């Protein structure tokens, strides 16, 4: 492995990364489109981008690194070269390939509602400078016609700027927090640790074979499990060992019907996950977070059952698992507990407490910026970092105002991006589960600052506020948090490999700047070629449903007093837990576990059992063999598991492409 001397990239890496970013964005778009056609399972479960939602783990870095392993026999593969591959894979996962949801959203789906909305709403949309004409949008339904690039150029520009503004703002925030999180707190970042295991495997010599055995065993297990799932989707006659054909979505979430015996007796029931990667990655999360999540989940089950006895949720036992999670009578935004807003209060409080516990650190960096002192070990000087944050914030607000919203809404959007990105990236780094996502109802809480009472009708301000603040946070690669995730992941990989972090970050930025417009252009082209009637696309609905911007939905979410009141309670509990944890080393309950347990995203994904499994597995590991068993066997096993799963994902997509041309 690398020596203590910092490793530098070679000139070829500065050429390779931009070139591959361009090529893979186009290739990945074609691949995603063809696999969208051939199978729901291939479309949703197997990906080269972001895997599922529980962990939102980028797959491309792992499988691109695996491709380097055969080359080590013929040429020396240095650590900077492997980090270059990691950077390309990271950008491709977040921007080039993304996932099925985001592929079907940016940019085509954002304009589709103009075809399905009423005349008053269509008139509003036609006033947006970036919206293509009605007749142009209609062309993409059948496909098979040349692209009207002139009409689509404003749309591509608009969503390119959308990605750029969020990327630069959240990336700058992470540059400021780098030393605090990575050097001082030693935040583990399970995603990076798992991928770094493949870097170690490639670098390992023959004399280290004993050390790589856990990795190889994990690789075999991950490979076999994912092959079984792949064959289940490919062949109806293949034995369904894991029950993926029974009440199971393609991402592994089991939605139980109302007739299930437990559904008829336990109110807080309905969904769980079979996602194999969630069970593996969460094993790398700290034990106290896993325990805290399990504790508060059990507490929620008990309290909801007690509420049912007292007369609440009377009709819930006759509804299925999906309805209990996020639909009309869901537990998460109805009395007496309003769990979603308890969680959202925790999300806001975690961001604030992160900054509070870092107050001395922030003050020191600000003094260094004012005094112009050098910032050794950082990507840039603190003066430059603060200037980047300021300029990115101004750029973001200007862009959003240019889209047609007021300065007040833009300020709220900036605040939400700041709070959510800190908590989501912190959760990514600590637990490997970025949970501040899912647009259903709870994500509209900031809009009650602007509209404490619902508006009387729709407007540009209303729609665009939902686009940035609600829809943007539906899934991880939608845009708002991409810069934060990729930046901190690259900085963490830089620490692990001792590769120059300044150049790592600059290569990340260059790759992202190229991949974003490339993938947007490629998607417009592929939809024109194949048509939305053949390639999955969102947006075949009226505009008020597209960005979850229905006024009726907004009313259903509760009054401003209720939302902010419950959020205050959730935030207060989080603050108390945070202070207790800071004061008493023995305190067992982590505030992040409290915020995650009632979150809408985890409820919708059914991820609770993956946390419980990971807690039990890690507790047994530490009890039997201590940290030595965990570090020498547990972590490499998970790294190999990820690599094995990634390899099957590589296999699945070419099979999907072949299936498009030769159905079988």
Residues 622 and 524 in one domain: no
Strands 253-255 and 50-51: unpaired
Same domain, 522 and 555: no
Residue 41 has a pLDDT of 65
Instruction: Look at residue 190 and tell me if it is in a domain.
Output: yes
In 3D space, the residue among 651, 658, 657 whose CA is nearest the CA of residue 59 turns out to be 651
Are 555 and 508 members of one domain? Answer: no
Whether residues 459 and 531 fall in one domain: no
The number of domains in the chain is: 2
Do residues 22 and 514 make contact, with C-beta atoms less than 8 angstroms apart? yes
Residue 377 lies in a domain: yes
Q: What is the rounded distance in angstroms from the CA atom of residue 283 to the CA atom of residue 267?
A: 28
Residue 516 and residue 491 in one domain:
no
Q: Reply yes or no on whether the pLDDT at 120 is more than 50.
A: yes
- 477 and 513 share a domain? no
Structural domain containing residue 146: 11-202+500-543
Backbone angles phi, psi at 9, to 5 degrees: -75, 150
Residues across the chain: 664
Q: Is residue 527 part of a domain?
A: yes
Q: Is residue 367 part of a domain?
A: yes
pLDDT at 1 over 50: no
What mean pLDDT value characterizes the chain? 92
Of 156, 166, 170, 161, the residue nearest 402 (C-alpha): 161
Q: In whole angstroms, give the CA distance from residue 65 to residue 267.
A: 45
Q: Does 270 lie in the same domain as 186?
A: no
Q: Which residue has the higher pLDDT, 171 or 44?
A: 171
Residue 661 reports pLDDT greater than 80: no
Q: Does 661 map to a domain?
A: no
pLDDT at 37 over 70: no
Same domain assignment for residues 365 and 484: yes
Phi, psi of 30 (to 5 degrees): -60, -45
Of 490, 520, 543, the residue at which a domain comes to its end is 543
- 197-246 tens-digit pLDDT: 999 999 876 545 557 899 999 999 999 999 999 999 888 899 999 999 89
Of the pLDDT bands very low, low, confident and very high (cuts 50, 70, 90), residue 40 is low
User: Do 270 and 400 sit in the same domain of this protein?
Assistant: yes
Distance separating alpha carbons of residues 202 and 2, to the nearest angstrom: 13
Which pLDDT score, from 0 to 100, does residue 441 have? 86
One domain, residues 517 and 556: no
Give per-residue pLDDT as tens, 366-425.
999 999 888 888 999 999 999 999 999 999 999 999 999 999 999 999 999 999 999 999
* 37 contacts: CB under 8 Å, gap ≥ 6: 530, 534, 535, 536, 660
Listed range (27-36, 477-486, 560-569) with the worst mean pLDDT: 27-36
Residue 207's pLDDT is what? 45
In a domain, 139, yes or no: yes
CB 336 within 8 A of CB 303: no
Q: Are residues 478 and 405 in the same domain?
A: yes
Per-residue pLDDT tens digits for 432-485: 999 999 988 899 999 999 999 999 999 999 999 999 999 999 999 999 999 999
The neighbouring-strand residues paired with 248 are 254
Of the listed ranges 25-34, 337-346, 468-477, 510-519, the one predicted with least confidence: 25-34
**Co-location of 325 and 192 in the same domain:** no
Residue 74 in this model has a pLDDT that exceeds 80 = no
Question: What are the backbone dihedrals phi and psi of residue 7, each rounded to the nearest 5 degrees, phi first?
Answer: -90, 145
Residue 663 lies in a domain: no
Residue 654 in any domain: the answer is no
DSSP string, 551-605: HHHHHHT--HHHHHHHHHHHHHHHHHHHHHHHH-TT----HHHHHHTT-HHHHHH
């Amino acid at each position: 492995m690398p020596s203590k001397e910092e490793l530098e990239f070679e000139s070829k890496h500065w050429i390779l990364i931009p070139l591959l970013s361009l090529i893979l964005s186009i290739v990945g778009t074609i691949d995603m489109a063809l696999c969208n056609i051939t199978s729901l399972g291939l479309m949703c479960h197997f990906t080269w981008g972001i895997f599922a939602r529980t962990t939102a783990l980028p797959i491309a870095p792992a499988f691109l690194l695996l491709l380097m392993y055969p080359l080590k026999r013929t040429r020396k593969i240095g650590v900077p070269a492997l980090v270059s591959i990691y950077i390309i894979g990271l950008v491709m996962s977040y921007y080039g390939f993304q996932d099925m949801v985001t592929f079907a959203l940016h940019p085509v789906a954002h304009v589709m509602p103009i075809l399905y909305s009423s005349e008053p709403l269509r008139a509003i949309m036609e006033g947006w400078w970036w919206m293509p004409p009605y007749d142009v949008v209609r062309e993409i339904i059948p496909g098979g016609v040349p692209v009207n690039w002139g009409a689509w150029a404003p749309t591509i520009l608009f969503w390119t700027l959308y990605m750029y503004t969020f990327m630069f703002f959240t990336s700058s925030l992470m540059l400021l927090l780098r030393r605090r999180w990575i050097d001082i707190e030693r935040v583990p970042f399970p995603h990076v640790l798992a991928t770094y295991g493949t870097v170690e495997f490639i670098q390992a010599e023959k004399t280290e074979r004993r050390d790589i055995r856990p990795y190889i065993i994990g690789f075999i297990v991950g490979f076999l499990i994912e092959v079984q799932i792949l064959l289940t989707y490919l062949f109806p006659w293949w034995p369904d060992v894991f029950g993926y054909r029974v009440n199971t979505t393609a991402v592994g979430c089991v939605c139980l019907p109302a007739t299930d015996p437990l559904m008829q007796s336990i109110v807080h029931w309905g969904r769980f996950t079979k996602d194999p990667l969630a069970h593996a990655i969460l094993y790398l999360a700290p034990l106290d977070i896993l325990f805290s999540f399990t504790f508060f989940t059990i507490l929620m089950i008990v309290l909801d059952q007690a509420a049912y006895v007292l007369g609440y949720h009377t009709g819930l036992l006759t509804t299925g698992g999906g309805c209990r999670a996020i639909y009309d009578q869901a537990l998460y935004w109805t009395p007496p507990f309003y769990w979603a807003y308890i969680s959202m209060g925790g999300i806001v409080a975690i961001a604030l407490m992160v900054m509070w516990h870092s107050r001395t650190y922030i003050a020191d960096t600000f003094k260094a910026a004012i005094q112009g002192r050098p910032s050794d070990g950082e990507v840039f000087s603190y003066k430059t970092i603060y200037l980047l944050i300021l300029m990115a914030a101004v750029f973001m607000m200007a862009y959003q105002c240019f889209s047609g919203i007021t300065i007040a809404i833009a300020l709220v959007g900036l605040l939400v991006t700041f709070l959510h990105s800190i908590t989501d990236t912190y959760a990514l780094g600590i637990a490997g589960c970025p949970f501040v996502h899912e647009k259903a109802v709870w994500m509209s809480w900031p809009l009650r600052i602007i509209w404490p009472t619902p508006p009387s009708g729709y407007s540009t301000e209303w729609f665009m506020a939902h686009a940035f603040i609600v829809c943007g946070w539906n899934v991880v690669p939608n845009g708002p948090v991409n810069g934060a995730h990729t930046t901190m992941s690259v900085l963490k990989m830089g620490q692990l490999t001792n590769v120059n972090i300044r150049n790592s970050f600059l290569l990340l930025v260059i790759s992202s700047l190229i991949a974003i417009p490339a993938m947007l252009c490629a998607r417009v082209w592929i939809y024109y070629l194949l048509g939305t009637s053949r390639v999955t696309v969102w947006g075949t609905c009226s505009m008020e449903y597209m960005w979850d911007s229905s006024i009726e939905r907004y009313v259903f979410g509760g009054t401003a007093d209720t939302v902010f009141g419950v959020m205050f309670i959730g935030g207060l509990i989080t603050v108390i837990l945070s202070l207790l944890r800071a004061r008493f080393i023995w305190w067992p309950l982590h505030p992040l576990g409290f915020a995650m347990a009632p979150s809408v995203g985890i409820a919708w994904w059914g991820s609770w059992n993956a946390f419980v499994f990971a807690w039990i597995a890690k507790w047994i590991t530490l009890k039997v063999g201590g940290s030595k068993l965990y570090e020498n066997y547990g972590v490499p096993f998970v790294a190999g598991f990820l690599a094995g799963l990634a390899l099957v994902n590589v296999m699945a997509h070419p099979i999907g492409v072949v299936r498009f041309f030769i159905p079988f």
